[in-house]
Amino acid sequence: MFGCAGAEDLFYIEHMKNTIRIIGLDPGLRRLGWGVIDVEGARLSWVGHGVITPDEKQALSDRLLDLFEGLTQVIETYHPDEAAIEETFVNMNPASTLKLGHARAAAMLAPAKLGLSVAEYAALDVKKSVVGAGRADKDQVLFMVKRLLPRAGAEATLTADMADALAVAITHAHKRKMAMLKRNSPSRSEALGQIKAKRSVA
């Protein structure tokens, strides 16, 4: 769960009674991590996670096809409503960055082709959302994912790639919640107007 239910959480729960299923993606050419969670009100529930690993001996085009087809199969199996993906980290090696960009494109195309919206989040934002610190390392992310999703933590198969993907899904759930509250909460002037109206009636 996100935490104790306050007034804003109760508002959110009232307007988000239906379960939303989110798939988070941690793109990579060698390993594409994925994680699926359900969001119902303020509650997060683990659904599944895994990794897609193309044969490194294949041509680049075939590896990208494996990523696309593998992720398509995952989406068709779990039927998520929305997708979220981590943005590409630009490192000192242009060739590696370009290949990672290819893998990320393949990962974005699979949900888009099946009609899912795809949100994008910087690694810094994901770490802040899940751990509370933008400089958190993978072990810290893994630890917090296990705490937020105990059923995922009980799985011996949970690796850093999969935990990162689940962290992206959790981040998207947090961002959806905040966007919903902001969109539906009255502005300060509106709130003051409502208070004055109630006082005048009383």
User: What are the residue numbers of the active site?
Assistant: 26, 86, 161
Residue with tokens 């969670």: 37
Contact 58, 73 (CB under 8 A): no
Cβ count near 88 (within 10 Å): 18
Q: Is 86 annotated as a binding residue?
A: yes
Contact 41, 13 (CB under 8 A): yes
* Backbone phi and psi for residue 199, each to the nearest 5 degrees, phi listed first: -65, -40
User: Cα–Cα distance between 109 and 118 in angstroms, integer?
Assistant: 9
In 41-93, the DSSP E strands lie at: 43-52, 82-86
Q: Is 69 annotated as a binding residue?
A: no
Residues of 90-112 as b/e, b for ≥16 C-beta within 10 angstroms? eeeeeeeeebbebbbebbbbbbe
Tokens of 35: 């994680």
Q: Is 55 annotated as a binding residue?
A: no
> Quick one: 150 exposed, middle or buried, by C-beta within 10 A (0-12, 13-18, 19+)?
exposed
Binding positions for Mg(2+) are 26, 86, 161
